[in-house]
Structure 1
Amino acid sequence: MSVIRSHIPLRWWYFIGMLLISLGSMQKANAAPQHALTLYGEPPKYPENFSHFEYVNPDAPKGGVMRQAGIGSFNTLNPFINKGVAAENIELLYDTLTKNSQDEAFTVYGLLAERIEKAPNNRWVRFYLRPEAKFHDGQPVTAEDVAFSFEILTTQGAPQYRAYYADVERVVVESKSRVRFEFKHGGNRELPLILGQLPVLPKHWWENREFNSGSMEPPLGSGPYRVERVDPGRSIHYARVPDYWGKDLAVNRGLDNFDRLIFDYYLDTDIALQAFKAGKFDYWLEIMAKNWATAYDIDAVRSGKIKREELPNHNPSGMQGFIFNTRRPQLQDRRVREALSLLFDFEWANQRLFNNAYTRTISYFDNSELASSGLPSPEELKLLEPLRAQIPPEVFEQPFVLPVTQGNGIIRDQQRRAYQLLTQAGYRVENDQMVNAQHQPLVLEFLLTQAGFERILLPYKRNLADLGIELNIRRVDISQYINRLRSRDYDMIVSGFSQSNSPGNEQREYWHSSTADNPGSRNFIGLKSPAIDQLVDQLIQSDSRAELVTRTRALDRVLLWGYYVIPNWHIKTWRVAYWNHLDRPAVTPLYDIGLRGWWYKASPAQPAQEP
């Protein structure tokens, strides 16, 4: 991908303008620069002169400290590379070209970019930078910085940047404040919007440093916070930038209200929860249903010092599950993966371990209109029929369902069906072990970093053992876990594929063959399927919301019938607990908790200070 600097004489602009007029029969004149972009050209929710987002308090007081927990450790302040574990919230140092609103499916508003201009044929997007935008050292943010950021992220950054921006042909620096991205084709509607998410790095700071190495040197940014203090692996402190250039923009009003943010690291979530209840930090997002039901019966909650709330979550749930690494020989047969899936008793776990708090996930896009159900529609069949020879026949023949048990721990029907499938795949039982034709036992290792998940896996381990399958649960620290994830050294893991209401380029990172061999990509499954590649490409090239829904459902069906994961569960709320010296806006955004809009509630007797 090349970067071009353009210095065109004024007389040539006249010629180019006349040329565009002469091409009027083929395409409309360029749209005027806008304050916002939407995916399909629909009007944005907020007009050009809006003062703030609806989900913030524009008069929120500034000050105080917010303390949060990090889990495990960290060893780098560079979140953009495929080395090390980055510190929590380090992205707060960096501004992006645009900012997403959190109450629209996918709309971006100018941040570093004051205006955005998109070609009618979607072959390029141009960003006009704000003249007041500057880095923390006072240097202006320029188009050269944007081009540098794109170049270094896609050549030396983590693999997801190359996949995410794969359809960009070149970057053209038109002037100090104007930059244009040209595309390989016009079929990727999402590309102009996701280019707005590009973090802009200071070229003058990085050009004399080695980008692709982990470093604990506090980096230079342009965002609302800077690094104040670092205790490597144990804590990081951020300080709000008092003269932050963007503090009065409509997209920032009411946000980033704490003078300081502190992240202290804990060995695991169980220890962190106890520290939270003891007042060691201020805010906790609870992910364990058992804890939510039983762990908060304490004086601080009863007296109101700790508040507990369930905030509605309108995002697609995505897919959390036990993920199979199909790079492993024993997991390449779909029948084996289906058999292993049958032996997870969700109903028992939900009753005994989760207080019936969860719903079983039955789609990669659950909790949204994007989820498939029933048999394929005629529109989906137009996409699926050409792929019939490459995808499971059940896609066309029956709705995808997961087994439902009585929740009493007895799963004989599932065990019989699993044994049948394993026999068809060439396995048999010898000396109480499930072995293949080469007499190799079916042994799996489940790589884990969360201690709390062991209690969920132990019943599953017993169900597998009943059929002679050995499951070894191996828990490692976060650094080991990430290293093994990047080197694909695992049989099974528990993880997820988060989704938005407008899925797009990130689907390449999850399922496309081009990412399967990239260390650090989120293609945890190791998928290399031409049929899935085609469905992903079609999804990205959708031209309307209706087309996007149809293409997402078709992809969903093929993924489900591949049995690449054992689906877990989801809940339609965020469970948050926080000490009552924090306050939050009256309106919660549809698609986020909105934590950046919270503030410190100091009383006259208790002035804002570091606890």
Structure 2
Amino acid sequence: MQWVLLFLGLCCYWNSCSDKVLSLPAAPKPKYQEAADRLSYILQDPVQGGDILLASPKIDFNIFNPFVGNRWPAEGSERLHATLMFPPLDDEKNLYPYVAKDFQENDQSLTFELREEAVFSDGSPVTADDVAAGFELLKKNGKSDLRDGYADVGCEILSPAKIRFYAINGGALSARKKFALGLMPVLKKQDLDQNDGLKKPITSGPYQVERFDKTREVHYLKKPNWWGESLWFNQGRYNFNRIGYLYIPNPEMNYQAFRKKTYTVRRELNPQWQQNRYDLPEIKQGTIQTLKVANYQPIKAGAIFFNVRSPFIKSKCIRRSLRNSFNFQDQNQRLYQEYYGYKRSLFFDPRLNSDVVEETINKGGFIECECMGTDRSPRKLVVVALIPAHKKILEPWQRALKKHNIELIIQMTSPGEYFKRLQTGNYDLIIVPQITGRDWCAVAENLERILKRSIDNKEDQQKMASFVNDVCEAETGVDEKQALQVMDRWAYKQALFIPMWFRPEIFYASWVPLKVPESLIGQSDIDHWSIKR
């Protein structure tokens, strides 16, 4: 009888843990139970403490809230804010309780109960009022995937520690809406004045702003006795006491500042410099440590997107000719010693499931058309770019196009101007470094958002919408990625983008001895590193 009671007790225990996992459609069985010691992809014996100082190639920043759209957030500001629930990198379709200790759901609503111990950096408790205020801000002014996730959702404060979200139209609250709500950052209500984005924020995450100058530097200090330190998924994360960033946009000055030890950890963005400028005596002596860190997250490559509304590139033939003249493989070999990876795709190796993908495209009537004729009259095209590295990659293409009587004007813009033009479609071509999102459905939605600005054909826009629906409604992870690949291949065949590159690994040099996880999936996140002693 005792064994039966013990068995039933264990079943109840594990079921209660499983009930606390908020899942997407097609989610696998949760990998972690609440009693897990730590995440599988982090250091097993991290050293707590120590300081690191990095450098940013950006010019400045204008806000500490990285979730608001059309702003330029401070480097590292994502560390300031905890979320209602936590998504492990190796279990990304399941969310585990974080600021929310529990939740209840039905078809129409999702209710979170907040942890009593969750407090902001000023010592005040996290309340449902704070969560509601942050929700309303992000629903109105958040980044596009947040606005989409919160659209047609309302909230109701049930108590100081309990908040209910529901579908405004009285219908069902979808699993994806619930997932988006679970990923919501927790912001302090009194901090949400968008006219003063640079006051030191009151934070719910592990770090707080120590000091900053918006054009020069920002420094974060780990909170002593942070409330979330003891949660199982935070064990072995956020190990540094201080993390800072210097803003040095000039590449040579940035490199020389590292040589002079003005900052301590350098991420090398220039593959030629990685090959030629690190034969240093300090490295040979062991004073500077070098690291090659696996970029093991799902590949989301950069691309040059066409604006089909531009008269000259309205023709698919012209777009294909332009794409064929962009010889990145040659650049990669001659200039970068094959440092970059290259695929004719934004996300995956296009050879994967290629027969199934082609069959799906052809069944849908999306058969590739033949290209007819070219226009050789003099033309000008403006390509919008954001960072100097993009300009360098575009310059050989610029020279190649001159032979075809095409003047490619590389237009470098400020962050604010770049995002404005990206959103309005005010460009002939534009470089987008990476298509991102909280999950593959959100990635598909963000890709559609860019492509819709470049398509003036209603039929093609409807096709894009159907692709997104197929991704978001896929029943398994395999089906989800296959549906996204159909969308990617169709857009490639329509010559709507030129895929560029991705980095299989990231090179670092450090004056500070560092430890990184052995697990490849956890290596690229500095919050998983620690000092080596």
TM superposition score category, shorter chain reference: 0.7 to 0.9
- Closer/same/farther in 2, CA of residues 233 and 186 from structure 1, 3 Å limit: same
The correspondence for 1:452, drawn from 389, 395, 404, is: 389
The correspondence for 1:306, drawn from 288, 294, 302, is: 288
Aligned to 2:164, the other structure's residue is in SS state strand
- Closer/same/farther in 2, CA of residues 128 and 33 from structure 1, 3 Å limit: farther
Match of 2:188 in 1: 202
Residue segments in structure 1 that go unaligned for 5+ positions in a row: 1-29, 398-419, 435-440, 517-522, 603-611
Name the amino acid aligned to 2:60.
S
- Closer/same/farther in 2, CA of residues 422 and 160 from structure 1, 3 Å limit: farther
Match of 2:446 in 1: 509
Listed one character per residue, the Cα deviations across residues 443-484 of structure 1 (whole Å, up to 9, x for unaligned) are 012223333333432221122111111112233454554454
The correspondence for 2:87, drawn from 88, 97, 100, is: 100
Whether the aligned pair in 2 keeps the contact of 1:188 and 1:541 (CA below 8 Å) is no
Q: Is residue 2:339 matched to residue 1:357?
A: yes
Q: What is the CA–CA distance in structure 1 between the aligned matches of 2:248 and 2:454, rounded to whole Å? A: 26
Match of 1:553 in 2: 485
Identity of aligned residues (%): 27
Whether the aligned pair in 2 keeps the contact of 1:363 and 1:372 (CA below 8 Å) is no
Match of 2:530 in 1: 599
Aligned 1:115-134 pairs, distance under 5 A: 115-119=102-106, 123-134=108-119
TM-score normalized with structure 1 length: 0.76
Aligned to 1:532, the other structure's residue is in SS state helix
Q: What is the CA–CA distance in structure 2 between the aligned matches of 1:578 and 1:588, rounded to whole Å? A: 20
The alpha carbon displacement at 1:595 in A equals 1.0
Name the amino acid aligned to 2:219.
H
Whether the aligned pair in 1 keeps the contact of 2:128 and 2:162 (CA below 8 Å) is yes
Aligned to 1:52, the other structure's residue is in SS state coil
Q: Is residue 2:314 matched to residue 1:332?
A: yes
Q: What is the CA–CA distance in structure 2 between the aligned matches of 1:526 and 1:304, rounded to whole Å? A: 58
Aligned to 1:137, the other structure's residue is in SS state coil
The correspondence for 1:289, drawn from 258, 264, 271, is: 271
Q: Is residue 2:368 matched to residue 1:394?
A: yes
Whether the aligned pair in 1 keeps the contact of 2:304 and 2:430 (CA below 8 Å) is yes
Name the amino acid aligned to 1:253.
Q
Aligned to 1:356, the other structure's residue is in SS state coil
Whether the aligned pair in 2 keeps the contact of 1:361 and 1:567 (CA below 8 Å) is yes
Larger Cα-atom Rg: 1
Listed one character per residue, the Cα deviations across residues 353-372 of structure 1 (whole Å, up to 9, x for unaligned) are 11123332212222599x55
Aligned to 1:360, the other structure's residue is in SS state coil
Whether the aligned pair in 1 keeps the contact of 2:303 and 2:431 (CA below 8 Å) is yes
Aligned 1:62-461 pairs, distance under 5 A: 62-70=48-56, 71-119=58-106, 123-166=108-151, 168-183=152-167, 188-203=174-189, 205-206=190-191, 210-211=193-194, 213=195, 215-367=197-349, 373-374=354-355, 376=357, 380=360, 385=363, 387-388=364-365, 391=366, 393-394=367-368, 421=372, 423=374, 427=375, 429=376, 434=377, 441-461=378-398
Aligned 1:460-609 pairs, distance under 5 A: 460-478=397-415, 480-498=417-435, 502-512=439-449, 529-579=461-511, 581-590=512-521, 593-601=524-532
Listed one character per residue, the Cα deviations across residues 542-582 of structure 1 (whole Å, up to 9, x for unaligned) are 22224323322221221211212111122422333323x24
The alpha carbon displacement at 1:422 in A equals 5.2
Q: What is the CA–CA distance in structure 2 between the aligned matches of 1:98 and 1:454, rounded to whole Å? A: 39
Which range moves more in the overlay, 293-302 or 59-68?
59-68
Name the amino acid aligned to 1:85.
W
Residue segments in structure 2 that go unaligned for 5+ positions in a row: 1-14
Which range moves more in the overlay, 456-465 or 276-285?
276-285
Whether the aligned pair in 2 keeps the contact of 1:268 and 1:451 (CA below 8 Å) is no
The alpha carbon displacement at 1:596 in A equals 0.5
Listed one character per residue, the Cα deviations across residues 104-151 of structure 1 (whole Å, up to 9, x for unaligned) are 3433222101234444x6x54332321111111222112232222211
TM-score normalized with structure 2 length: 0.86
Q: What is the CA–CA distance in structure 2 between the aligned matches of 1:564 and 1:296, rounded to whole Å? A: 39
Considering fraction of residues, name the structure with more helix.
2
How many pairs are equivalent?
513
Aligned to 1:570, the other structure's residue is in SS state coil
Aligned to 1:247, the other structure's residue is in SS state coil
Listed one character per residue, the Cα deviations across residues 504-552 of structure 1 (whole Å, up to 9, x for unaligned) are 1242222148x95xxxxxx688997111012112211222224323322
Aligned-residue CA RMSD (Å): 3.1
Whether the aligned pair in 1 keeps the contact of 2:436 and 2:446 (CA below 8 Å) is no
Whether the aligned pair in 1 keeps the contact of 2:383 and 2:427 (CA below 8 Å) is yes
Whether the aligned pair in 1 keeps the contact of 2:42 and 2:522 (CA below 8 Å) is no
Match of 2:34 in 1: 48
- Closer/same/farther in 2, CA of residues 591 and 64 from structure 1, 3 Å limit: closer
Aligned to 2:158, the other structure's residue is in SS state strand
Q: What is the CA–CA distance in structure 2 between the aligned matches of 1:298 and 1:257, rounded to whole Å? A: 29
Match of 1:16 in 2: none
Whether the aligned pair in 2 keeps the contact of 1:64 and 1:259 (CA below 8 Å) is yes
Aligned to 1:556, the other structure's residue is in SS state helix
Listed one character per residue, the Cα deviations across residues 156-180 of structure 1 (whole Å, up to 9, x for unaligned) are 33444212333x5332433333333
The alpha carbon displacement at 1:154 in A equals 0.7
Name the amino acid aligned to 1:53.
L
Match of 1:400 in 2: none
Q: What is the CA–CA distance in structure 2 between the aligned matches of 1:344 and 1:291, rounded to whole Å? A: 23
Whether the aligned pair in 1 keeps the contact of 2:222 and 2:242 (CA below 8 Å) is yes
